[in-house]
Amino acid sequence: MPNLKELVIIGDGFAAAVMVVHLLQRGISRSSITVIGPGDLGKGNAYNCASLFFRLNVREDLPIVFSEDPLHFARWAEQNINDPQAKTEAGYFYRRQDFGRYVCELITQECESDQLEQIKAKVLNLTGAENNWHLELDNQSTLIAKKVIIAAGNPSPNWPCKVTLQQPTSVTPRLIENPWTGHFLESIDAQENIILLGGGLTALDAINALEGRKHQGMVYVIAPRALFPPEQAPWQKQGQPSWPQNVSPARLIRFMRNYLPSAPTNSAEWQSAWEELRPNLNALWQQFSPHQKKSLFKRLGWLWSLYRFRASPQTIAAYQRLKEKNQIQFVMGRAKEIKCSEMNVTALLGNGIEVEGDRILNCTGVASDQLLQQLIEVGLAIPDPLGHAIAVDKNFRVMHLSGEHWNSLWMIGPGTMGSLGDVIAASAIAKQAEQLAIQLS
Ligand SMILES: Cc1cc2nc3c(=O)[nH]c(=O)nc-3n(C[C@H](O)[C@H](O)[C@H](O)COP(=O)(O)OP(=O)(O)OC[C@H]3O[C@@H](n4cnc5c(N)ncnc54)[C@H](O)[C@@H]3O)c2cc1C
């Protein structure tokens, strides 16, 4: 059969790269693996950053790729990264582009790049079933695979509201729909007033970059709450909570509330307790029904995101410096429309407030994945309980009916969060890759 591949990995980011590394280390042959993704294998959306100001939000001992050698990255960083500004009281927070370089090197160490087949394209459609999966690529080619692992990661952001262009061709540079790489920074004039739509880690990256480039204009942050995630503290896990039996969502919340100290959330004491709670949460999450997962996320998803994704000390320091100079202001609300003219850009909020600036950056996070949507539409997959991606079982097999799964289609990475819990950080994804490689070998 022409173009028949043994095992295809869809995606070229961190998840795809660590999947390759763990498969090779378990004895799967290079010639049986084909990676499909448009960029350098290992960088993906998270670590393919042009900006030197975009840093990891975790200290050096936390991105763990090999569970038996947790300090592998920390050692590599010490030898290969020259970045005096990485050092803080809470540990070393390296640039994301340097972490991308590390992941690319892992691949090079495992195999010469020409020995691993990577097709530089995106998969538009995945059809077929079990024995043969048909993949349609955006370079007009098609191929057939016996097994497929989806590692498509974080879908690039889309505007969360209507965008009205009053001068369609000449004004689009005012609208930065995807700020993840940081390329937009080159074109920003220091006097511009910048609107950041969203108040999470992407907004903090932009603040760190603008402040680092000595920005002089105003920065407006549009968010439902005037709060940024807390700064990482030098936390260390001290103990292990003794969880009660049969934890319901309500009991989980009560238990976590009682376990967490009343200290501030940016203190080492509070963050240590939070990190002691985390290792058990995925197993508990997996026991909840789809309805329980949905209502828990609806009630507490924003709080979870706030404290789970803490910020690097560098970004919070940059925010404080802008604040001292009265150069940054929160505007509370949600955008319902963005209007862009030749002269400026205006965000109209649902509460009637209008915010005007020279440029707007979309810092609202991931969009929805077209490939996963397509799988749901043709009935090859079902939505996960949160409706964010597709459902998988605890062995990462894609579900096609409630209780039924494919034996030749898997997914790892952030898309598995609705089914499996907190799988967003690099170390959680690497663990999934390690477990799936064991199954496949
Ligand atoms: C901007 C950003 C910053 C982050 N920072 C951190 C951090 O500091 N620390 C941390 O622990 N975690 C961080 N994360 C979390 C992140 O989810 C993981 O660390 C990890 O990088 C995710 O890897 P991934 O390969 O699953 O996804 P991604 O990094 O999103 O890579 C997925 C890749 O797959 C490609 N792809 C998508 N669809 C297709 C398709 N249909 N066909 C072919 N290719 C496709 C994409 O183009 C992309 O290159 C960050 C995430 C983002 C988005």
Choose the residue to mutate in 5, 20, 45 for probing ligand 1, maximizing ligand atoms within 8 Å of C-beta: 45
pLDDT tens series, the chain, 441 aa: 667 999 999 999 999 999 999 999 999 999 999 999 999 999 999 999 989 999 999 999 999 999 999 999 999 999 999 999 999 999 999 999 999 999 999 999 888 656 799 999 999 999 987 679 999 999 999 999 999 999 999 999 999 999 999 876 655 789 999 999 999 998 999 999 999 999 999 999 999 999 999 999 999 999 999 999 999 999 999 888 999 888 899 999 899 999 999 999 999 999 999 999 988 888 889 899 989 998 888 888 888 877 888 999 999 999 999 999 999 999 999 999 999 998 999 999 999 999 999 999 999 999 999 999 999 999 999 999 989 999 999 999 999 987 899 999 999 999 999 999 888 889 999 999 999 999 999
Protein residue whose Cα sits closest to atom 24 of ligand 1:
153
Residue closest by Cα to atom 3 of ligand 1:
46
Please tell me the distance from the alpha carbon of residue 118 to that of residue 112, in angstroms, as a whole number: 12
> Apex CA 118: angle with CA 112 and CA 121, to 5°?
155
Query: How much is the pTM?
Result: 0.94
Q: From ligand 1's centre to the CA of 431, what distance in Å?
A: 15
**Residue 438 buriedness (CB in 10 A; 0-12 / 13-18 / 19+):** exposed
What number does the ligand 1 atom closest to the CA of 55 have?
8
Q: How far apart are CA 338 and CA 161, in angstroms?
A: 7
Lining residues, ligand 1, CB within 6 Å: 10-16, 36-39, 44-46, 56-58, 63, 96, 122-123, 151-154, 180, 371, 413-414, 424-426, 429
Residue whose C-alpha is closest to residue 100's, from 168, 161, 39, 157: 39
Nearest protein CA to atom 48 of ligand 1, as residue = 44
Looking at residue 113, its pLDDT comes to 56
Pick left, alpha or beta for residue 106 (phi over 0 → left; psi -120 to 50 → alpha; otherwise beta).
Answer: alpha
Helix (H) or strand (E) run with residue 123 in it: strand 123-129
User: What is the 46 CA–ligand 1 centroid distance (Å)?
Assistant: 5
Distance from residue 411's CA to the centre of ligand 1 (Å): 13
Looking at residue 371, its pLDDT comes to 97
Between helices 426-440 and 14-25, what is the axis angle to 10°? 40
Pocket test for ligand 1, best of 154, 178, 315 (most atoms within 8 A of CB): 154
Measure 45 CA to ligand 1 centroid, in angstroms. 4
Domains in the chain with CATH codes: 4-156+367-440 (3.50.50.60), 162-230+310-362 (3.50.50.60), 249-289 (no CATH)
**Ligand 1 atom closest to Cα of 371?**
41
